[in-house]
Structure formats: C-alpha cells, structure tokens
Amino acid sequence: MATQTVMGTEIEYGIIVKNDPDFDPISSCVLLVNAYREDPDGEILWDYDQENPLADARGFQVDGEKYTPNQQENIARNKTLINGARYYVDHAHPEYSSPEVTNARDLVIHEKAGERVLEVSRREATALLPDGATMLLHKNNSDRKGNSYGCHENYLMDRQTSFKRVVEHLMPFFVTRQVYCGAGKVGSENRAQPCDYQISQRADFFEVEVALDTMVKRPIINTRDEPHADREKYRRLHCIVGDSNMSEYTIYLRNGVTALVISMIEDGAIPDGLVLRDPVRAIKQVSHDPTCKTELALDNGKKMTAVQLQAEYFEAALRYTATRDIDPIVQDVIEKWQYVIEKLAGDPMDLHREIDWISKKKLIETFMDRKELDWRDHQVGMLDLQYHDTRPEKGLYFMLERQGRVERIVTDEEIAAAVYNPPQDTRAYFRGECLRRYPAEVFGVNWDSISFGVEDQPVKRIMMSEPLKGTAAHVEDLLASSSTAADLVSKL
C-alpha cells in the first residue's frame, strides 16, 4: 500500500538590484529575508542538528563537512513562518520552502503564497535601498551567465521501496514530463546545442543520471537521503529536475502527476520496458524540440516520443486507479493529464492557456511578429525574463492572468489566506500555530522538530517525525487549552 501523499516545494529565486553598481547577491538576500517581519522580536534558530545532507539514498555516507552557521548568521539567514513555511538564504539566492501538504491543489496554493511573501519582502527591502535602486526577483532557473538555480520538489515515500526501482521507473518519467512541466526558455546554455526556444529552463544543466550533488554535475535523480521524518519508515524523494513554474495549471500537474506516479511505483504498478538508452542526452533532446515529435531511443531497441512515453504512464495510471477509491483532486489531475497528453500529441500550441512553456512561446512569438524581430534579438530575451518577474504590475505572466488568458486552479483569496495560515492536515499546522501563539518561547525549528525555551528550564525539543500528525484534528484542542508554551510542553 503506497504511502499517503505528503509533498512540498523549495523555490530558489533569481535576485538583482537594479542601479546598484556594488550589488552583492548574498547581502541582498539577507536584506530581503529580514525585510519580511512577521514577529519583529522573534529570534528563532533553524535547527541544523537535525539535518544530514551527506547521506546518500544508495546506502552510504559521502565524505565532506556539514556547514552549520553560527547563531547570529543562523538568525539572519532563516525565517520560519506562521504558515509553516521556511524562508531563507540559500547560497546566493532567496529560497521559499512551502509547508508540507497532502494534495496538488494545496501545493499550488502554498507555492503561490510564497510568491506573495517574496513580493512583500521585495517591496520592503527596496524601501531600504539608496534612491534609484530597485530590487528585482524572478521565479526562473538561470541567470544567462551559465548559472542555474533550482525548483526542488519533495515527496514522502516508504523506505522499504527499493531505490533502484525508484530510479528505474522515475528516470523516463522525469525526462519526459517536461513537455507539460517546462517553463520555457529562449536559447540554450551550458554548452548545449544551440536552439531558438526550448521547453525546459533546467534541461541543459543535467550532466549525470544519478548522484547526490545539486550544484555541480547535476543528476536527473538526486540521491539525498534526508527524510525529515522517521528514518526507519520513510524516505524523502528530493526531486531537482523540475522548472520553477508561474502557471497554476502547470504546477498542479507537475506535482499531482508526480505524486501519483510515486504511489504507483510503491505499489508495483509501473510497466517494465520503458528504460531510456541515454537519459542525459534524451532530456536535452526533449527540451530542444517544442514540436514534441523527437523520438527517443529505448534500451529495448524501440523509439518513442516524450508524449508517447507519458501516455504509457497515463495508461498505467488508469489501470492503477480503476481498482482504488480515488480522491477527487487526484481524479481531476488524471483528467487534466489526459487532456494535456492528447493536445500535445496534436498541436502543443493549443495549450497556450495551460502550460507555461507554451504560454510564454505564444506571447513572445506574437511580439516578434508585431515588431519583426528574430529569436536572437535582445528584446526577446528580456521578454523571456519578464515572464518570471514577481512584481504583479510588471510580470508578463501576471499580465496574462489579469487578462483572463491563462487557466487558474485556485483563487486569490485562497492564496492570500495561505500567506498567514498553515495547511490543516499535516504537521505544518502544529509548527505554524506554535510560532503564531508562542513566538518568544520557540527556540529552534526544523521540519521534524520544534524546540521551546521555557523560562529557565533546559530547551525542550518536541519531535514531529510523523508528517501526518500535528494536524488541526490532532492538536487544535491541545493548543487552545495551552495559554503558554510551558503549558503546552507539560501536556505533551
């Protein structure tokens, strides 16, 4: 029986300060994160003791040293929010890690809430800059200088599921899902073959099939073994192969379909015979062909397009769900997946309202036709970037949204509420509510623990190793009856 779905995303944003000749990305990130002030007096640590980024899912520990910042740097670089999210500085990028959710619709809501958080702090940070300087953020994946930054997805899995089987069945799925998950990109990078326009922002940067690294020799499947839950029961699939998406419809499919496929892998429902001969080459072939007609070589000698491979997974999903009670959101994901596959098999441009890379391509081509430009014109590159601008009044995706030219999945009211409220059906509820109710007494936080500094007592760490406990149903009455953190700790 597959593990119940628990997932989240970690989005790294591009950052620049316009009209600042001394721009430093790290100090700008620190300014940005600290400009977002839910609790002006809170000095809550991120609990790095609970992390182990050197553990490999293949069963070994790699050599290296785990970096742990000192207390002052920790507080300056990290914020845990009352909606259960983490907002922090990751190397030279601001990163928003959503709270844990149980379905694709909530994932869209909370990832979009992250965009709102970033925009609030961007405006506050800009107000602190010298006159004429403006901080800009982009929800994209490369800086056009050979550097790529990630959109990482996380999925809870049963540790008993063979990681070898996970790799075997996810490899062709990850290589080909970009036909509906890609964010689109003008040109190529990282010494890839030149092209006018490609499907994915990240595809050019993947160099190996399976590895632990995320910044050099990027793998299609990442092996980080850091479950943020009971290690005896769970693993966390850390997916680094996706693009940062603006389209709600694309985010919905990206996470909804992937969560379903992971459940199918756990239950042994993926057919054999879908092994790609050269996945690293194939991921670039798929990305560089917006017609979606390129055939990929399989190990068994057959050739299939990315859309045909996705159709194989879809047919397996129909067989899998036919014998199970399916949640309405999962059923909706399946229906949208089918619709997209059928359109991609015909004319992909028919999906200009739903899929990011197609929405962007249509927008750019319309502009090019009107201005009589080609793909190499610098204005075209600027349009590509502006599609991902997080400013609602400037970003081209938000322009399409205002004009009713893209499909929505959730409402603005739901997104606004998620900026300040955690999901109710995961441990994120307990984390967020503790931060809301007892901010001065929370000492440190991690995904699977929260520590309280109660009066002059030793710090009390409360473990949260079960992602589906600590929900509103579990702890709402407990929290309501605990006027202080001391009350809560004594009852726990």
In terms of Cα–Cα distance, which of 485, 492, 415 is closest to 457? 485
Question: Quick one: which H or E segment has residue 206?
Answer: strand 206-211
Q: What percent helix, strand, coil does the chain show, rounded to 5?
A: 40, 20, 40
Q: 316: phi > 0 → left, psi -120 to 50 → alpha, else beta; which? A: alpha
The CA-CA-CA angle for residues 76, 78, 84, to 5°, reads 150
User: 399: helix, coil or strand?
Assistant: helix
* Token digits of residue 12: 């790294």
| Residues contacting 483, CB < 8 A, separation 6+ | none
332 as an active site residue: the answer is: no
Q: How far is CA 129 from CA 17, 115, 137, 211, in A?
A: 9, 21, 15, 40
Do the strands 449-452 and 55-56 form a parallel or antiparallel pair, or are they unpaired?
unpaired
Count of alpha carbons within 13 angstroms of residue 262, beta-carbon side: 26
Cβ-based burial of 303 (10 A; exposed 0-12, middle 13-18, buried ≥19): exposed
Q: How far is CA 191 from CA 164, 187, 462, 472, in A?
A: 30, 11, 48, 50
Which of 20, 49, 90, 289 is labelled catalytic? 90
Beta-bridged to residue 153, according to DSSP, are 9, 239
| Residues contacting 346, CB < 8 A, separation 6+ | none
Can you list the alpha helix ranges (DSSP code H) found in 47-103? 71-77
Do the strands 185-186 and 234-242 form a parallel or antiparallel pair, or are they unpaired?
unpaired
Rounded CA gap, 401 and 404, in Å?
A: 5
Cβ-based burial of 377 (10 A; exposed 0-12, middle 13-18, buried ≥19): middle
* Token digits of residue 342: 């059928």
Can you list the alpha helix ranges (DSSP code H) found in 346-391? 356-371, 378-386
Under 8 Å between Cβ of 142 and 249: no
Q: Look up residue 331 and give its amino acid.
A: Q
Catalytic residues, which ones? 90
